Amino acid sequence: MTPSTTVQPPIASSHDLTCRFPEITAVDHLNLQISRGEIFGLVGPDGAGKTTTLRLFCGLIKPTEGSAQVVGYDVCRDLDRVRDRIGYMAQRFGLYPDLSVQENMTFYADLYGLPQGQRHQQMGLLLKMTRMEPFLQRQAGKLSGGMKQKLALMCTLLHQPEILFLDEPTTGLDPVSRRDFWEILYQLVTDGVTVLLTTAYLDEAERCNRVGLMDQGKLIRCDTPEALQTELEEVCYQVKSSHPRTARQILSRASGVLSVEFAGAVLHLFLSPSSTTPAELERSLEEAGCGPAQLTPIQPSLEDVFIALIRKQGRLRL
């Protein structure tokens, strides 16, 4: 007899989740499922609906249509139960610059109503995890950008939430601070916390277990970074040319070219195999005085894929 396997329900999900404002539909029939213990990244251009999605999941705004469930509760019907089990860190978290690290944490512990024993134990664990112990008495306003984000995260984690909602938590941080912040996120996931974050950095999205690509309020793709990099029918090429700017103009008008963008000193191009061949494009460039030209197939980055998908969505809408 084959033993049965138990499938865990998602820790957060939405069904046709929609949020309309008078001038725009910010989130448009979003269907999403977040598994326990994963880091899920929402990526999209400004105005794609990422922040609104987080606010809907946290019950900060009410949906126009559809529903959202978090830790087994409907966000609209059981908001108090949801709030007790989540942590939300906005782009501008409400730290008090005149208060020390310890005083900020104590203030948020009071807001959460944490007993003295629990708060002291949790503060100690968080300070050790973030390596912020030496800065306990420093005013928040005198911390570096990375330290401020660590403090904001500690305040968000004081009540031990099951799932974290982080809105572009590393924007504006230097590379070392970004790396440190991600090490903390990995440790949190190891300890059983689930993370749903938005990010403007495509290299960060590659660190997530799964990524949702949003555009104009819609979820256009959702998969692992590895799968997203291989699922497009168009082939990605690196283009070397003696005149790359002119080459880009020519290639952008060529049949079968989905997108062509600069990647340093070269171009990255997505080409439909059924429309034309790399050899034909190389001849076109050389005839236009952009030779020598060379197209080499490459594995696209997540940024390459994201730009190509946005271009494809735009053409589908025409």
- Taken in order of first residue, the domains within the chain and their CATH numbers are 12-228 (3.40.50.300), 235-299 (3.30.70.100)
Better-predicted residue by pLDDT, 93 or 140 = 140
Produce one character per residue of 277-288: b if its CB has 16 or more CB atoms within 10 Å, e if not: ebeebbebbeee
Band of residue 239 on the pLDDT scale cut at 50, 70, 90 = very high
Cα distance from N-terminal residue to C-terminal residue, the chain: 55
Give just the sign of the alpha carbon dihedral 75, 76, 81, 86: positive
Instruction: Give the 3-state secondary structure of residue 312.
Output: helix
pLDDT in tens, 84-123: 999 999 988 889 999 999 999 999 999 999 999 899 999 9
Q: d(Cα 205, Cα 82) in Å, to the nearest integer?
A: 26
Whether 289 has a pLDDT exceeding 90, the answer reads: yes
Burial of 201 (0-12, 13-18, 19+ CB in 10 A): middle
Note whether 205 and 43 are within 8 A (CB). Answer: yes
pLDDT in tens, 246-288: 999 999 999 999 999 999 899 999 999 888 999 999 999 999 9
Q: d(Cα 145, Cα 118) in Å, to the nearest integer?
A: 28
Q: Single out the residue of 153, 149, 154 nearest to residue 178, CA to CA.
A: 149
pLDDT for 318? 39
